[in-house]
Amino acid sequence: MERELGYRTVQSTGRGSFIMSLPKKWAQEVGIEKGSQIALKIMEDMSLVLIPRRMEEKRNEKSEISKEYFIKVSQRSDVKSVCRRLTSLYETGAELIHLSFENIENRKEIKKAVTDLSRNLLLGTEIVEETAEEMSLQVLINHPELPIEKAISRMANLSISAHEDSIIALHNLEQAKLSYIYQRRLDVERLNLYVVRQLKYGIEHNLFGEWGFETSKEFLGYRLVANDIRNIAGNSHNIAKNIETLRRLIDDKLLFLKDNLDEEIYAQIDSFNSSTQQLFKESLESLFKRDYVQADRILSRLESFLMLENDLITLLLSKKIDPNLLSIYRLVLDNTRAIVEYSKEIAEVALNRTVENVSVKS
């Protein structure tokens, strides 16, 4: 319940510092005395919140308790369902998760799935305790060790590398690159879960200022950006799966290609891809640097990419291409077009986070 405590006069010391007396009744109620410490937090509207350290510590104790969760795994529990629940708890900020196993036949299978999930997808998670009946997972990583922008930048590099490898694999339908694509997709998924977890934590604890953001609304933009980058890796994974299937059918002599890869088409795809990658990198740069002008220029260039895509589609239609190859060409083209769309969305996020700053009357 809010209470009005009137106004206090701000005074200045000889050293230029400002001082103000605290309401005595309030100080007594919250247990403030000489030597007590008070936390100060600047809010979005530039108002100041004062929190006695004792109250802050009690809040943190409750927060720590609330971030410990328990999962009972029964005979009816499904492996995928248990993994989904673990992933959801990780995303929502769980710090300690305990699993208890009743007398179930597939205990080893579930334990292995949980271990693989922890190692492959839940960044910073370690199994800290394990017995025949129980497992405990603890999340040990925090924001200072891996800031959100650094995680998103790493996601972007991995996703673009996966897309590049899918185009290289297309050239000779070679399978050597496919394992790299699958691994990069997995790495992107892991980083994306971490970013979602951190953004939710930042919103809950009002940490936008500490983390280098101007408002909490920017967290929502970064959530969109992370999802777009994740989709690039996912699309590359689908291309790799199609190439793998096609290669296997050819090797097993169940399929014979009427034509080999068309070098002219491949060169055009490669050129279009190089241009879109540059656009994508520039859009991220405009976001991280808060560059309104650069983001605006990116949006004004989008029409030229539409023309490049139309030229490539015209070239595809003018050629007699084996339908199996054509389907993969279209997948690659769709993913490259998607990168243009994601670049547009990222540039728009950059505009939204900077437009107020560039529109203030001087």
Query: Which DSSP category does 81 fall into?
Result: H
Which run of H or of E encompasses 277? helix 263-288
Q: Greatest CA separation found in the chain?
A: 90
pTM of the model: 0.77
Q: Give the three-state DSSP class for 130.
A: strand
Extract the runs of DSSP E, i.e. beta strands, from the chain: 11-12, 18-19, 38-42, 48-52, 68-73, 96-101, 125-130, 134-139
Query: Which DSSP category does 319 fall into?
Result: S
Q: What is the CATH number of domain 66-139?
A: 3.30.110.20
| pLDDT tens-place values along the chain, 362 residues long | 567 777 888 888 766 678 888 888 888 877 888 878 887 777 767 788 888 877 766 665 555 545 899 999 988 888 999 999 999 999 998 999 999 997 788 888 999 999 999 999 999 999 999 988 899 999 988 777 789 999 999 999 999 999 999 999 888 777 788 999 999 999 999 999 999 999 998 888 788 888 888 888 899 999 999 999 999 999 999 999 988 988 888 888 877 776 667 888 889 999 999 999 999 999 999 999 999 999 999 999 998 998 988 999 898 888 888 888 888 888 888 899 999 999 999 999 999 988 887 887 55
Amino acid at 68: E
Q: Which residues contact 32 (CB under 8 A, 6 or more apart)?
A: 22, 38, 52
Burial class from Cβ neighbours inside 10 Å (0-12, 13-18, 19+) for residue 89 reads buried
Query: Which DSSP category does 198 fall into?
Result: H
Q: What is the CATH number of domain 145-358?
A: 1.20.58.220
- How far apart are the C-alpha atoms of 209 and 221, rounded to whole Å? 16
